[in-house]
Amino acid sequence: MITTKNQAIQFLTTMQHLCPFVHPEDDLTQINPAFSKSQIKFLDARFDECYELLDDPCGIILDEIRPTMTMFNSKLK
C-alpha cells in the first residue's frame, strides 16, 4: 500500500524503469506483453493510490522522472 507522496513517486519511478511505456492512465488489460490478472489488480490499486496522493502522476513522470532516465534524455548518454 502506498501511503505517502514519496512512496508514490518511488513507485512511479520504479514502474518507469521496469515498464517505461506503462502509464497510470493505461488500460493494463491491453498492454503487450500482457500482465496477469493478479498483476493488473495490484498495479491498478497502486496507481489509484498515486492519484489519491499526487495531483498529477503523469506530469511527475514526464517532468521529474523521465528527464533523469538515459533512455528518455539524450543529454545523459
pTM for the structure as a whole: 0.90
Distance CA 74, CA 9 (A): 23
The C-alpha cell that represents 73 in the structure block: 534524455
- Measuring CA to CA, which residue among 1, 53, 50 is closest to residue 23? 50
Query: What pLDDT band is residue 74 in, cutting at 50, 70 and 90?
Result: confident
What average pLDDT does this structure show over 22-50? 95
pLDDT for 77 equals 53
- The pLDDT assigned to 72 comes to 87
Length of the chain: 77
